Amino acid sequence: MSRNWLENQTTIDKNTQDTIRMSGILPRHIAIIMDGNGRWAVEDGKNRTAGHEEGINSVRDIVKASSQLGIQFLTLYAFSIENWKRPRTEVNILMKLLEFYLKHEIEELHHNNVRLLAIGKLNSLPKSIQKLLLYSIDLTKDNTGLTLTLALSYSGRWDIVKAVQMVALDVRRGKLSPEDITEERFASYLVTHNIPDPDLLIRTSGEMRLSNFLLWETAYSEIFITDRYWPAYRREDLYIAVNNYMCRERRFGKTSAQILTEQPDTNSPKNYFQRVMDAFNPR
């Protein structure tokens, strides 16, 4: 089988993706809180490790599907700063899986034009992972396809506090005056400064919270929560979330009437994808 993702896609999947693309504007940036690995495993009579292992297969499929669909930015919450408080054995397994993923996937990611980035307190990760990340980020830095960002040892509050410290230092050094601190200027101090805010935030496993993920950046993200556990999450689930996003009206605080006059010719069929699906499954 070809290593090229565009060559080894089934016709049905290609058609589904074509239909989605035709239904409107794709989210430019999708961020995912991958949750439910433990519950998936335990409910299946397995230990939690099995959930994390299968979670890697979900990562593979979602990265591939996002790239094939033409999503520009995908950010995965793989390990939070709070996750360091988990039992040592589980933390070690997660680190080993991450190492395994980077070692085995980076060539294929590179071959498919994916640019890898990592955000978080990266110096708290094992040295071997730091080295792999440096290598992978450098290898893929000129790629122009999907930007895959792994949030590792990351937390939103950690990033905001760190940014405030850097702003304060720049003010003390006379490089910045307090009046110049705008939202844009502040955001330039965050680890996410080189990626756009997420348009769509997906959380698996039915939990309805942000868990310290991209707190600043998700101010106007559309949120989609699915009951599916992460290890069972596959591209069809992603398509449902993207389709749902594409049916929404993003108002950014304005009124619906204002949005309509700003885009008089969107003429986008309310949702082409939904109409095609309805044609197949009349209610």
Binding site for ligand FPP (CB under 6 A): 34-39, 52, 55-56, 59, 76, 78, 83, 94, 97-98, 101, 150, 230
Q: Which residue is nearest to ligand FPP (CB)?
A: 38
Least spacing, CB of residue 204 vs ligand FPP, in Å: 8
Residues in the chain: 283
Q: Out of 4, 8, 18, 35, which one is annotated catalytic? A: 35
Query: Is residue 112 annotated as a catalytic residue, yes or no?
Result: no
| 230 to 62, 163, 269: CA distances (angstroms) | 11, 31, 32
State the Cα torsion 202-207-209-213 to the nearest 10°.
Answer: -50
Query: Is residue 142 annotated as a catalytic residue, yes or no?
Result: no
Least spacing, CB of residue 107 vs ligand FPP, in Å: 15
Q: Yes or no: say if 191 and 123 are a contact pair by the CB < 8 Å rule.
A: no
- Tokens for 104, please give them: 């085995």
Least spacing, CB of residue 21 vs ligand FPP, in Å: 26
Least spacing, CB of residue 139 vs ligand FPP, in Å: 17
Report CA Rg, the chain: 20
Q: Yes or no: say if 74 and 32 are a contact pair by the CB < 8 Å rule.
A: yes
Least spacing, CB of residue 101 vs ligand FPP, in Å: 4
In a 10 Å sphere around its CB, with 0-12 CB exposed, 13-18 middle and 19+ buried, how is residue 278 labelled?
A: exposed
For tokens 């990033």, name the residue: 159
Q: What is residue 28's DSSP assignment?
A: S
Closest to ligand FPP by CB, 85 vs 173, is 85
Q: What is residue 152's DSSP assignment?
A: E
Least spacing, CB of residue 4 vs ligand FPP, in Å: 22
- Measured distance CA(171)–CA(163) in Å, rounded: 12
- Measured distance CA(182)–CA(60) in Å, rounded: 38
Q: Out of 13, 61, 83, 244, which one is annotated catalytic? A: 83
Among the listed residues 83, 62, 56, the one whose alpha carbon sits nearest the alpha carbon of residue 74: 62
Among the listed residues 206, 189, 244, the one whose alpha carbon sits nearest the alpha carbon of residue 222: 244
Q: Which residues are catalytic?
A: 35, 83
